[in-house]
Structure 1
């Protein structure tokens, strides 16, 4: 389901204030990280049932029931389009993103709730940015679209003050994509700085979110292009460990591929094992074109026969 997280978070904050509790005190009593509490109150994260179960006794309110009161309509249609979009991005299928873009625009025309409108519009701008980058090879327009997308929920945002704000998962995706554009347009150092900020912010994301391994992949790939294979291996391993720990297998194929290539350049004996796992998870996830790309790229660029 989809929720008005801003109004829910504001109500949670009011409950806490009425009990004269600080965020730090609630964190200590509930064993929930203070950053998570801050994100909940700012409407930046959808808390899990377990998180709300731990907070409810401290705040003397059934927060799971309270969250249901902030439920929005049209969630299933939005989630269906969003999942299709995510699947295409994971597989590198950029040519047909206009289908999801038009579906999002149609959904926007039929939605009334202001919070939901902002979420859909933000995703539309991010999708347009990806299309400009990959289909039209126009990273500058893509970057401007991403800045506009961030300003939908963070009006005061600029690339100079990005570290001043708390971000939800969608905003971190936007910021991560900005870093990729900056890498093409301006500075690799600035790009890495922003991505490292993103990965620190994503550490408190809910386990069912896949933003953390996506950032790990992009950091690993950026370091690979710089020829810094130890760092590439470090971040691919971080992403793999996160996915396995949280049983979130989306993106494992890409992360194992990056690990295998880093191990190859570092002359590790087990590099083929990682590359075979990349192929296995690509097949498991139904990413057959990506599987074939792994196999062909290994042969073409590194003279490696995976199978």
Structure 2
């Protein structure tokens, strides 16, 4: 999402000069000097993540610029949500937490669904940044309760929050609670007439498979990892495709179907290489060696 407004460049230039920051210093590790010059001339506009970095370096709130944005071409709330999702994919919880704190009192985020989204991600950050399990769980349940205090017939957004809770329980090795939460999330998702984001189901299936493996229930885990593989194939998705291949391969080895397990883990490696993820490809090879040593 780009900022599209007539006066943005003038505001940026005036503010940079007022703060006595050189153009090279402001551009450093955010964009090229040439891009910043184009921003100031109004020929080009920064992406929202660039805008956050520029505002931080100038020591002003992002709203200082947003107030001049054209409401017909710029949906600030949506853009912030997209940026948070981007940082979540990158596991950059520090960046997410800074956004959540910065927008806490912004009236644009007072609508219940917006509040829910921000509470949800604050809860995630409390766990991964501060290791505060109790506060994290409380915030995630508060997020669900904002739109569904009965916690029944969950919406897709509420299911995603429940899935985050289940993942945290898995991280804590509370496998029984995690299994129950993942199963509840899957039951609710399967009850919906339509699923907007197929990745939601994949996250649940992968979480269930991992959790059941953690309980040494390898055949049960295999059911969900293979369901995930089929779902990826049927929906032409690469999301978690390599992870499901690895999970199935591990399960096959654990139930003593060694050759099949090696085949699936090698497929996982191929998927990661296809995605230019050499780090995971190497990790898969190392994990395969460890699994075979235990056979």
Which residue is equivalent to 1:73? 75
Q: Which among 129, 140, 147 is matched to residue 146 of structure 1?
A: 140
Count of aligned pairs: 220
- TM-score, normalisation: structure 1: 0.61
Q: Distance in 2 between matches of 1:285 and 1:149?
A: 34
Which residue is equivalent to 2:184? 197
Partners of 1:132 and 1:141 within 8 A in 2? yes
Q: Which among 179, 196, 213 is matched to residue 224 of structure 1?
A: 213
Partners of 2:116 and 2:146 within 8 A in 1? yes
Q: Distance in 2 between matches of 1:141 and 1:299?
A: 39
Partners of 1:104 and 1:120 within 8 A in 2? no
Structure 1 outlier segments of 4+, above 6 Å: none
Residues 108-147 of structure 1 mapped to structure 2, 5 A cutoff? 112=108, 114-115=110-111, 118-147=112-141
Q: Distance in 2 between matches of 1:260 and 1:81?
A: 34
Q: Deviations 1:237-296 (Å, cap 9, x if unpaired)? A: 111111211112211122111111001112222212211222233334454433333333
Partners of 1:81 and 1:104 within 8 A in 2? no
Gaps of 5+ in 1: 2-71
Q: Which among 239, 246, 258 is matched to residue 257 of structure 1?
A: 246
Q: In structure 2, do the counterparts of structure 1 residues 79 and 266 end up closer, same or farther at CA, with 3 Å as the change threshold? A: same
Q: Distance in 2 between matches of 1:114 and 1:124?
A: 10
Q: Distance in 1 between matches of 2:201 and 2:86?
A: 20
Q: Distance in 2 between matches of 1:192 and 1:279?
A: 27
Q: In structure 2, do the counterparts of structure 1 residues 82 and 264 end up closer, same or farther at CA, with 3 Å as the change threshold? A: same
Partners of 2:225 and 2:247 within 8 A in 1? yes
- TM-score, normalisation: structure 2: 0.63
Partners of 1:140 and 1:185 within 8 A in 2? no
- In our comparison, the structure showing a higher alpha carbon Rg is 2
Which residue is equivalent to 1:244? 233
Q: Which moved more, 1:258-267 or 1:120-129?
A: 120-129
Gaps of 5+ in 2: 2-73
Q: Distance in 2 between matches of 1:178 and 1:168?
A: 15
Residues 77-96 of structure 1 mapped to structure 2, 5 A cutoff? 77-88=79-90, 93=91, 96=92
1:226 Cα deviation after fit: 0.9
Q: In structure 2, do the counterparts of structure 1 residues 105 and 260 end up closer, same or farther at CA, with 3 Å as the change threshold? A: same
Q: In structure 2, do the counterparts of structure 1 residues 109 and 284 end up closer, same or farther at CA, with 3 Å as the change threshold? A: farther
Q: In structure 2, do the counterparts of structure 1 residues 300 and 285 end up closer, same or farther at CA, with 3 Å as the change threshold? A: same
Which residue is equivalent to 2:272? 282
Q: Distance in 2 between matches of 1:230 and 1:270?
A: 14
Report which structure shows greater RCO (CA 8 Å, sep ≥6): 1
Q: In structure 2, do the counterparts of structure 1 residues 102 and 285 end up closer, same or farther at CA, with 3 Å as the change threshold? A: farther
Q: Which among 72, 96, 100 is matched to residue 96 of structure 2?
A: 100
